[in-house]
Chain A
Amino acid sequence: MIVAERKPIDEIIEFMRDCKKILLVGCNECVTVCYAGGKKEVEILASALKMAFMKEGKELEVEEVTLERQCDHEYLEEIRKIIDEYDAVVSLACGVGVQFMAEKYFRTPVFPGVNTLFMGVTEERGVWAERCQGCGKCILGETAGICPVSRCAKRLLNGPCGGSTKGKCEINKELDCAWQLIIDRLKELGMLEDYEKLIPIKDWSTERAGGPRKVVREDLKQ
């Protein structure tokens, strides 16, 4: 899932400074699961914003809606009829949703309610961690299912750097060295000889370096 976290309220208030009436839009997908932008967070943010304005002697009308997803036209269309009633929209979806909303409702200012961080997992209740950077060319088959692109601070592809000590990363002592993990797992799988295998240089053109990417499925496309 895409992991995000709530933006500091100050920042959101700053966006709203001259607004009288706004719409908070939550998303019932990833940001719900990572507790950043689901229906519940929308409700809390609404309450907080109203209070913050009241305290300044101002009034802010806040309405709330949570869409199934903000990365699909059909769901975003659900607010078409009401969108013009608002001075601005705060989307609590990930950056994708915020942008798609802004594209769709060109005349309405759309602000982000969360900071979008990464694609990751729920390691435990309340803890989310990065696992994928969307490089476009998956090498997990060669690296024992552990991704050095997302989990090695230096994105090294040919083994650990000299800074790896006692299995930890030199950038952050809390962090496991991805290559240590890879080697450990290969060992466990009895595939350590694969570590010595030469693999071709990674094709980075599928990564963001080649500009914004797109997937087209002709068989599905209209």
Chain B
Amino acid sequence: MVVGGGIGGIQAALDLADSGFYVYLVEKSSSIGGRMSQLDKTFPTNDCSMCILSPKLVECGRHLNIEILTLSEIGSITGEEGNFQVRLVQQPRYIDMSKCIACGTCAEKCPRKVADEYNMGLVNRRAAYIRYPQAVPLKYLIDKERCIYFEKGKCRACEKFCPADAVDFDQGERQITIDVGGIILASGFEPYSPALSDTYQYGRFPNVVTSLEFERILSASGPYQGHLVRPSDEREPKKIAWIQCVGSRNVHVGDRGYCSGVCCTYAIKQAIVAKEHSAAPLDTAIFYIDIRTHGKDFEKFFNRARDEVGVRFIKSRINTILPGYDEGNLKIRYTDEGGRIVQEDFDTVVLSVGLDIPQESIHLAQKIGVELNHYHFVSTSSFEPVRTTRPGILVCGAFQGPKDIPETVMQASAAAGAASSLLSRERYALTREKEYPEEVDITGQEPRIGVFVCHCGINIGGVVNVPEVTDHASRLPHVVVAEENLFTCSEDSQVKIKEKIHEHQLNRVVVASCSVRTHEPLFQDTIREAGLNTYLFSMANIRDQDSWVHQSDKESATEKAKDLVRMAVANAAELSSLYRTKLPVTKRAVVIGGGIAGMTAALNVAGEGFEVVLVEREKELGGFATNIHRTLQGDDVGQYVAHLVEMVNQDEKIDVLTEALVADFSGTKGNFKTALVVGPSMYSRDVNHGALIIATGAAEYKPEEYLYGEHDAVTTQVGLEDMLLKEPERVKEWKNVVMIQCVGSRNDTNPNCSRVCCQQAIKNAISVKETNPDLNLFVLHRDIRTYGFAEDFYREAREMGIHFLRYREDEKPVVGQEDGRIHVTFKDLTLGREMTINPDQVILSTGVVGGDAEELANIVKVPLTSEGFFLEAHVKLRPVDTQSDGIFICGMAHSPKRIDESISQALAASARACRLLSQDSIEVGGVVARVDQELCAACLICVRACPYEVPFINEDGVSEIDISKCQGCGVCAAECPAKAITLSHFGDTQILAQIDALMEAR
């Protein structure tokens, strides 16, 4: 059972359901989607949040092995790990889900208007409503608290007008008891309410909005249809301010002491997006304490906002907001970097509110006996980041600690992995299998094409004249029916597409909407459910390739949409059914890298019942963590690593190969073959396996600056940690110590933040100060990035009298020496003058740089980022997958991270790998190259051209391509001089048809 239907719960449910478990997804509200469904864009790629979430919602909604229970909360949990009895309390919807057709008549006829929570109360909805258009399940409900009938005993307009007779006022609260083996808590966060504090005048001035309200303002599906206006007078703002750390990093009454971790980056995102939305030049200012862009590529995002987009960043904590000079404006007083007091008027002020735990979650935890920490987040340990204090109950997402979407998704997969290893013996005991109707044989039929043109809310419809495009489509050859949809990806649209297929005996379908990358699988599945082969589908991207990029010229965007639709229709007419065949899966994983991440992944995969070959380059297991003695929280890392090594060595299912290197890699997901060179004797060994997990870690930056390596008194944090353990008496002699942050990070060669160094510095600073309370300790930094609960330690460090002093990127401190004595000169930004310290020791907080992974990356064909970290398939929703199916990444190989985060990601990678290994077979074929052996001249060109060495000349003397190995790139087809090879689905016929269709209008 997964509790909470946000992105974390959805991911955990999908992972478990795909790994052979039946999942109950329990959601308190009327639909899944959670907070992510309310966001406009996601950082740092500025992907449309709903667009990437929606396919997951639909996948969840239509998954045979996920049962979504909405309007439900946990009453009680009895039993124990492996055998829980959960009593659920389900509130009535007052609408019969089996009858509701989501036509919206009830909402239209409902006379009661109430504030719409989905839009943060900025607009009204009716008492009969759905939360948002893409909601899953797409079924209306009646808000009992606000319904006139429930208040006054009469009205029932919805019941009268409902064409499906679905309204049922007699429904009552239901108690459901369900037996489950494991429980994952994913109930998420709620935005901190600034109404708790009078500082920000929230609720008093309408143009002071929270960041989540601002997301709705920016959103195309929001109260102003994506037009950037302010609430008071719906005027376009010219100046917007963001105030950071509202409700975070503060220990006053009502505030929260932790750092919410996400607000800096989302404020930057909002500022960039706001500037893009604004017709007139928009001034944006972000008032911050420290900018905390510690995620993968976030620092580059910050740099872009500051240097290219022109977002102003002002380091100042704001404590008063006053009415401005003009009506509705707001005045902010702040101290600028030069120490002057400045007053500035803004049209709108956005409060970057933190992540808070809702009261219901606190009650739930108390009720079910799960311990919370002092901030009411679920308590977990550094080494078991998804286990709660009650065995069998796991946690993921923001309920465990503030985190962003990819961290949540990662942790959700991790919790799924931990749950499935608990229950691995019951795999497939309760799951159901999807049965598709028998496929219609369309050979010999004339094409009958149905075209569905999407408005995508206003994403497309606001720019492209959708009715005109639909009309154009309806006149094209072979087109039998052309229709428009508000959201073609919504569940009701899938039903409609299926109906149209049956009604018009369609044998090909075209959808003109968004990107094939995100939505093609959904539509393909829909047509398959209607009995069509999945390949009889073609898509025109009239959003990403049209309405989004040609916003200013609606006419020409409409013309382009027509062209794209015409091309897709021409393509569709040439498509034919393709078939896939099943191949068995080799139930073994290879894990490369024997650090904490690799060992954790190996143990979890083995725990789920699969064999693992663990490959380590060095003589010993342990990886980089052998340099770290304890965590910030004080947990003993050395002991834990030793424990892991022992577990790995004892596990019968894990085969450990040290001093081993990958020499070659081939095959496809489910059936890989890795050639290894092992041991001092370099013997070679081939391993057949179904999945690959890369956990090769990263490297510590070796400084060339600040006299490192030239003077004994200059060391790194790792060096200091060693010293603290082995020669504390040395530390006791120090009088002055300087730590310098961001050494080898946040610069031109390594633009990203290394994420862990601030915490490492504070951990060691506290330790130094405890060892020698009398010394002066100066931490020279650019921003202190103690996100999450680590903020407590930053506070503790300041309380201990450790001095934190900022320096600017262009005024780095200078470390010099005179007569063997070291001195550090830097510019103090508060005093505005140069200072010099003569420390006994200088400690450099060195960054994390990509490990030398280039060779491995080339062998396994997974790209690296420009900083040398492995690139994930999607930064938000596929953080442990790679572009190559069956290959997963975790730990520092992905990006710098803390031990608990590495463990989380390792569990996630193992869960994703086990999801694949738990399948008995996978399907191959589809888009692959096929040889017409009649035409083949056996010229060998394909044999030579194929990058994967797939084609060969067979016994009959003609070329043959093994479809299970073919990757579908089409190189052979492009080179074949006899035109004997065709890449199915992307053949010359299909491409030339598109060219013809495109050009015929000219």
Q: Do chains A and B touch in the complex (CB under 8 A)?
A: yes
Residue numbers of A with Cβ under 8 A of B are: 28-29, 32-33, 35, 38-41, 43, 66, 122, 125
Contacts of A35 in B (CB 8 A): 941, 977
Could you tell me if A39 and B977 are in contact, using CB atoms closer than 8 angstroms?
yes
The answer to whether B176 has its CB under 8 Å from any CB of chain A is: no
Q: How far is the CB of B871 from chain A (nearest CB, A)?
A: 31
Closest 3 CB pairs between A and B? Answer: A38-B977, A33-B939, A39-B979
Could you tell me if B944 and A32 are in contact, using CB atoms closer than 8 angstroms?
no
The answer to whether B978 has its CB under 8 Å from any CB of chain A is: yes
Contacts of B961 in A (CB 8 A): none
The answer to whether B122 has its CB under 8 Å from any CB of chain A is: no
Bin the interface of chain B by size: 10 to 19
Contacts of B977 in A (CB 8 A): 32-33, 35, 38-41
**Distance of A62 Cα from B945 Cα, bound (Å):** 30
Could you tell me if B976 and A40 are in contact, using CB atoms closer than 8 angstroms?
yes
Q: How far is the CB of A106 from chain B (nearest CB, A)?
A: 29
Which chain B residue shows the least CB distance to A125? B944
Q: How far is the CB of B688 from chain A (nearest CB, A)?
A: 31
> 15 other contacts beyond A29-B937, A66-B978, with CB at 8 A cut-off?
A32-B978, A33-B941, A33-B977, A35-B941, A38-B939, A38-B978, A39-B977, A39-B978, A39-B979, A40-B976, A40-B979, A41-B977, A43-B979, A125-B944, A125-B945
The answer to whether B723 has its CB under 8 Å from any CB of chain A is: no
**Distance of A137 Cα from B223 Cα, bound (Å):** 91
**Distance of A43 Cα from B992 Cα, bound (Å):** 13
**Distance of A28 Cα from B978 Cα, bound (Å):** 7
Q: How far is the CB of B970 from chain A (nearest CB, A)?
A: 14
Mark out the residues of chain B between 974 and 1002 whose CB falls within 8 Å of any chain A CB in the assembled complex: 976-979
Could you tell me if A33 and B937 are in contact, using CB atoms closer than 8 angstroms?
yes
Which chain B residue shows the least CB distance to A43? B979
28 contacts between A and B (CB under 8 A): A28-B935, A28-B937, A29-B937, A32-B937, A32-B939, A32-B978, A33-B937, A33-B941, A33-B977, A35-B977, A38-B939, A38-B977, A38-B978, A38-B979, A39-B935, A39-B977, A39-B978, A39-B979, A40-B976, A40-B977, A40-B978, A40-B979, A41-B977, A43-B979, A66-B978, A125-B941, A125-B944, A125-B945
Contacts of A40 in B (CB 8 A): 976-979
Contacts of B944 in A (CB 8 A): 125
Contacts of A43 in B (CB 8 A): 979
Q: How far is the CB of B446 from chain A (nearest CB, A)?
A: 26
Which chain A residue shows the least CB distance to B937? A32
Q: How far is the CB of A69 from chain B (nearest CB, A)?
A: 10
Contacts of B979 in A (CB 8 A): 38-40, 43
Which chain A residue shows the least CB distance to B974? A40
**Distance of A32 Cα from B939 Cα, bound (Å):** 8
Contacts of B937 in A (CB 8 A): 28-29, 32-33, 38
Mark out the residues of chain B between 895 and 949 whose CB falls within 8 Å of any chain A CB in the assembled complex: 935, 937, 939-941, 944-945
**Distance of A29 Cα from B977 Cα, bound (Å):** 10
Contacts of B976 in A (CB 8 A): 40
Which chain A residue shows the least CB distance to B979? A39
Which chain A residue shows the least CB distance to B976? A40
**Distance of A66 Cα from B978 Cα, bound (Å):** 9
Q: How far is the CB of A33 from chain B (nearest CB, A)?
A: 4
Contacts of B978 in A (CB 8 A): 28, 32, 38-40, 66
**Distance of A201 Cα from B939 Cα, bound (Å):** 38
**Distance of A203 Cα from B660 Cα, bound (Å):** 64
**Distance of A38 Cα from B936 Cα, bound (Å):** 11
**Distance of A40 Cα from B977 Cα, bound (Å):** 5
**Distance of A29 Cα from B945 Cα, bound (Å):** 19
**Distance of A122 Cα from B941 Cα, bound (Å):** 10
Q: How far is the CB of A102 from chain B (nearest CB, A)?
A: 24
**Distance of A28 Cα from B939 Cα, bound (Å):** 10
Which chain A residue shows the least CB distance to B943? A125
Contacts of A32 in B (CB 8 A): 937, 939, 977-978
Which residue, of B944, B976, B977, B979, has the highest number of chain A Cβ atoms within 10 A? B977
Q: How far is the CB of A32 from chain B (nearest CB, A)?
A: 4
**Distance of A39 Cα from B976 Cα, bound (Å):** 9
Which chain B residue shows the least CB distance to A36? B977
**Distance of A32 Cα from B959 Cα, bound (Å):** 14
Q: How far is the CB of A44 from chain B (nearest CB, A)?
A: 10
Contacts of A28 in B (CB 8 A): 935, 937, 978
**Distance of A66 Cα from B934 Cα, bound (Å):** 12
Q: How far is the CB of A57 from chain B (nearest CB, A)?
A: 18
**Distance of A29 Cα from B939 Cα, bound (Å):** 9
Q: How far is the CB of B940 from chain A (nearest CB, A)?
A: 8
Q: How far is the CB of B929 from chain A (nearest CB, A)?
A: 15
Which residue, of B937, B945, B976, has the highest number of chain A Cβ atoms within 10 A? B937
Which chain A residue shows the least CB distance to B936? A28
Q: How far is the CB of B976 from chain A (nearest CB, A)?
A: 7
**Distance of A121 Cα from B978 Cα, bound (Å):** 18
Contacts of A33 in B (CB 8 A): 937, 939-941, 977
Q: How far is the CB of A181 from chain B (nearest CB, A)?
A: 25
Which chain B residue shows the least CB distance to A41? B977
**Distance of A122 Cα from B940 Cα, bound (Å):** 10
Q: How far is the CB of A140 from chain B (nearest CB, A)?
A: 24
